[in-house]
Structure 1
Amino acid sequence: MEEKRQLSDRLIRNLQAQQQVITRTSETDFTNTALSFKIAKILSKHQKPFSDGEIVKECLLAFESVSEVSLSRRTVVRRVEDMSSDIEYQIKVKTKDLEYYSLALDESTDIRDTAQLAVFIRIVDKDFNVLEELVDLNAKKCTTRGIDIFEGLQSSLHKNWD
């Protein structure tokens, strides 16, 4: 009789443990689903691509251990400008020691029907290390004839190497 009681108690404890796991999992799933809906709403409200959800997820994972990070518009702009300046500096340093280089241009139109000219550089140094970087992105307010693209390239080169 005692063995049956112990067996019964053990089975009840196992069942309760399983129910707690299921309950915890469903609460976590509900929280994750609710957060997913909130992020989807924000993305659609601001007319952002739905694929930006992965970027938001990456940002949330970066926030895991940080409680107070300033993300005001000015702070974000300042951070992007600092990163841009650093990249420009690195390109200038690497172009001083280049052996060979090539330029690539890509003209496309953005969502607001503004022509954009992207200027890329590929650098090969004396040790045959290859570096490819975006040098500049020019918004073209006029047409995209050959002369406009040439002037955009000249502007990018003067801006970055004068």
Structure 2
Amino acid sequence: MDLRKFLTVNSASTTAADEANFSSSSSMDEPPAKKAKINSRKYSEDYLNYGFTWTGSVDTPLPLCVVCGNTKTNGAMVPSKLKRHLEKVHPSLVSKYKNYFERLITNSAKQSQKFEKAVRLSDKAQIASYEVAQLIAQKMKPHSIGETLIGPACRIMVKCMLGKEAETEINKIPLSNDTISRRIADMSENIAKNVHQKLNNKIFALQIDESTDISGKAQLMGFVRLINGDSIINQFLFCQELSGRTTGKEIFDCVDNFFKNSNFSWNFCTGICTDGAPAMVGNEKGFWTYAKQKNADIITTHRVYYTSRSFSSQNSSYGTNICFGRCDKNSQLY
């Protein structure tokens, strides 16, 4: 084999490959061609002759038809396209002058202002709505009473005493069934949040009571007594449904789960007050026993109910007074 011929052919192929790589790399290094900048079309007052005003940004306005409210792209901001829209969509307005479309713009703005004024709720209307919702919740009335009784009664009284304008203001107060429900839920959430903040890393006493609602389901209610500033306050804490049996273990699990979800610690609980039911005061499987496993320093007491009849000297009727006392483990009233 001729070595010189082999070297010559190999050198020629290497040179061609290098030239191809150089040309491809040089073409990749070249910056891409810049796209031509498209100038946005500007709005002209003459376009109002075709029933078009503008909306959007000043730099890129969009044509807006004052008759049907149709919005087009910036590329349609030319007389021929605007005129075509007027002729095809609103042929009866082709002969109208510029002042006609100006009046349409003015009337549309006035209608928008009236609509906003009619639907805007003032702060006083919101406060009144919450006050009524709080009263309905305190009296334990159905939420629909706001729109079926309270609202109509207020409108009648205000109209008779103050006139029609005052009645219009009363109509702004939202009292529908769903609104009252939301108001009560908002207030409940706010109360729970405030109670949790006050109980955060503070000592408190806990009172537990189990009862049955009208549907036959067991409900467990909890109340707390704590120090708030210079005073001692009593506050409702929770109401939880007992899914299983009303045993001491079920009651403790319900309270313990609530403590865990609320980030409360049993170490800050100094006392527990319950009734004398075995599920509460049982020595082996009572609620007290499980609670003291969490905090052995808890002071446990139970309350007893008794009635006393006080006779009146002025007539023969008598009343029954329900009194509440607290007893310790030795049933000593104090």
- Normalization by structure 2: what TM-score? 0.28
The answer to whether the 8 Å contact 1:101/1:121 transfers is yes
Normalising by structure 1, we get a TM-score of 0.54
Q: CA deviation at 1:154?
A: 1.0
Identity of aligned residues (%): 25
Q: 1:115 aligns with which of 218, 231, 247?
A: 218
Q: Report the AA paired with residue 121 of structure 1.
A: V
Distance in 2 (CA, whole Å) between partners of 1:52 and 1:84 is: 16
- Higher relative contact order, structure no. (Cα contacts within 8 Å, ≥ 6 residues apart): 1
Equivalent residue letter for 1:158: K
Aligned residue pairs total 107
Distance in 2, Cα, partners of 1:150 & 1:92: 20
Residue 97 of structure 1 deviates from its aligned partner by 6.4
Please state how far the C-alpha of 1:130 moved relative to its aligned partner: 1.1
SS in 1 for 2:240: strand
Task: Find out whether 1:89 has 2:193 as its counterpart.
Answer: yes
Match of 1:60 in 2: 150
Q: 1:80 aligns with which of 178, 184, 194?
A: 184
Structure 2 match to 1:24: none
How far apart in 2 are the matches of 1:52 and 1:80? Answer: 12
- Structure 2 counterpart of 1:131, one-letter code: I
SS at match of 2:246: coil
Please, what is the CA RMSD of the aligned residues? Answer: 3.0
SS of 1:113's equivalent in the other structure is coil
| Paired residue type of 2:233 | L
The verdict on how the C-alpha distance between 1:73 and 1:159 changes in structure 2, with shifts beyond 3 A counting, is farther
Q: Which has the higher helix share?
A: 1
Residue 123 of structure 2 is matched in structure 1 by: none
Say yes or no: does 1:147 pair with 2:281: no
Amino acid at match of 1:103: L
Change (3 A) 1:142 1:91: same
1:134 CA displacement: 1.2
Q: Distance in 2 between matches of 1:148 and 1:97?
A: 26
Looking at structure 1, the residues matched to 255 and 181 of structure 2 have their Cα atoms a distance apart, in angstroms, of: 25
1:131 CA displacement: 1.8
Matched, 1:158 2:260: yes
- C-alpha displacement of 1:89: 1.7
Partner of 1:101: 204
Cα distance in 2 for partners of 1:124, 1:68 equals 41
